[in-house]
Amino acid sequence: MEKVLEKKWHALYTKPRWEKKIDARLLLKGIDSWCPLQKVERQWSDRKKVIEEPLFKSYVFVRIDESERSNVLMTDGVLNFVYFLGKPAVIKDEEVNTIKMYLAEKDARISIITEEGFRQGDKIRVNFGVFMDNEGTVLKGGKKKVYVQLQSLGQVMVVEFPTEYLSPAFL
């Protein structure tokens, strides 16, 4: 009986500003790859322009099984898998799907910041939208932002919400 290898999402660490190139190269190899992009307005000296830039700097996500790992690592620009507790970090399907759904919303904005930069604040619960039923931490001094942590990446997403979307989370 042949063992079926399960495909799981993993994060890759890439050369700086190579995210889109690596995503395209992996897709050409037949590897399920995803580089989350968001539209951002940039100011040039003579005009403003809306561009798509990677949501996670130097990260690309791949949905692979064990047999595809070496093929991924042999892709030009891929530095390594992101490791968590000594093994390649596995990203939950729900986390990837939640980010995809949010990015599909009109005017979606997510800022990524490292976890170390914040103190813990009040715990809240999101009551509406694609992040509904998620709990997060209120940004210091803010009433319109909530953190949703991707634990397997050790990163925090800051998502803006209208205050009426939020309520205190009770332990």
Indicate if 134 and 67 belong to the same structural domain. Answer: no
**pTM check: above 0.75:** no
Based on the fold, state whether residues 79 and 118 are members of the same structural domain.
Answer: no
In a domain, 160, yes or no: yes
Whether 1 is covered by a domain: the verdict is: no
Looking at the fold, whether 87 and 114 belong to one and the same domain comes out as no
Per-residue pLDDT tens listing for the chain (171 residues): 556 679 999 999 999 999 999 999 999 999 999 999 988 888 888 988 888 889 888 899 999 999 999 999 999 999 999 888 888 889 999 889 988 888 887 776 666 544 433 344 666 666 666 666 666 766 544 444 545 544 445 566 666 665 656 666 654
- Same domain, yes or no: 80 and 115: no
Enclosing domain of residue 164:
110-168
Residue reference for tokens 């619960």? 125
Query: What CATH number is attached to the domain comprising 15?
Result: 3.30.70.940
Query: Is there a domain that residue 24 lies in?
Result: yes
**H or E segment and range at residue 106:** none
Which of 27, 57, 91 lies at the terminal end of a domain, its last residue?
91
Rounded distance, CA 109 to CA 37, Å? 10
